[in-house]
Amino acid sequence: MKRVGHESGGVVGGWITGTRTALRAVATACVTATMVACAGSGGRETFFSLNDGGVVQSTTAASGDATAAPSLPGIVVSAITVPELVDRPQIVTRDSANRVVVSEQNLWAEPVRSAIGRTLATRLARAMAEAGRPAQVAAYPQSSIASPYLRVTIDVVRFDAVPDGEAVIDALWSIRRTADGVVRTGHTVASVPIGGVGYDAIVHSWNDALRIVDRDIAAVVVQVTNEPVPAKPSSR
């Protein structure tokens, strides 16, 4: 190897030890690395949202309607938990039993917990209306219903999807009637094949899986609403 002299340093074992040249080389390398990192992290972001599947018709009665009830019973979706793994803006999928993919370009437009609560509230309102028992339904943190007739809680223990496989939602849920403390619980595991390619197909299958969970909850909500509340025992 040819020895090369330098204005500020010297040569050790054939390698240049010049201070200025070394600093310039390091600075050039840093700038180059930064540019590569920025270029690699680019890309168009796409935002997705769970779809409640339709529009609920207004249950507000016109003024002067003598048949209108003075108020509607209130139902609150009061608490929803999801696994920490998916409680983030990025959409998370699996490519094996122990390996996950966190997409930086495919994001949720709202927190997953909020999306689940919103879709359930809309579907519960629709189910109650179809059953002839219209109700006001809201999901936490909305607070328009001060004294709800029912409180619904959901613990999502699994929210998975495997591209070219299935979308799965595993949920434990409970319904509590505030008038007498009656509680009904349930467990729904919904698995829907992913029928296409890409994140559109994945989110669509999650929508279908959530619709199954919401259907099971709505059926029990209607049932509990139709059951008479036992009379309180006399204090005499």
Reduced to 3 states (helix: H, G, I; strand: E, B; else coil), residue 199 is helix
Instruction: Say which CATH topology domain 71-226 has.
Output: Rossmann fold (3.40.50)
Contact yes or no for 13/73 (Cβ under 8 A): no
Contact yes or no for 91/167 (Cβ under 8 A): no
Residue recorded with tokens 């507000």: 60
Q: How far apart are CA 139 and CA 117, in angstroms?
A: 5
The half-sphere exposure of 230 on its side-chain side, counting CA atoms within 13 A, is: 6
pLDDT of 1 strictly over 80: no
Q: How far apart are CA 52 and CA 188, in angstroms?
A: 18
pLDDT tens-digit profile of 207-228? 999 999 999 999 999 999 888 8
Q: How far apart are CA 215 and CA 209, in angstroms?
A: 10
Cβ partners under 8 Å of residue 20, min gap 6: 7, 8
Q: Where are the beta strands (DSSP E) in 129-214?
A: 136-139, 150-161, 166-177, 183-193
**Cis amide linkage into residue 141, ω under 30° from 0:** yes
Cβ partners under 8 Å of residue 69, min gap 6: 61
- pTM for the full predicted model: 0.73
Q: In terms of pLDDT, which residue wins out, 135 or 65?
A: 135
Q: In terms of pLDDT, which residue wins out, 200 or 140?
A: 200
Region 173-184: what's the mean pLDDT?
A: 94
pLDDT tens-digit profile of 14-50? 333 444 444 344 344 333 333 333 333 457 899 999 9
Identify the pLDDT of residue 28. Answer: 40
Identify the pLDDT of residue 53. Answer: 63
Average pLDDT, the chain: 78
The half-sphere exposure of 33 on its side-chain side, counting CA atoms within 13 A, is: 6
- Segments making up each domain of the chain, as ranges: 11-39, 71-226
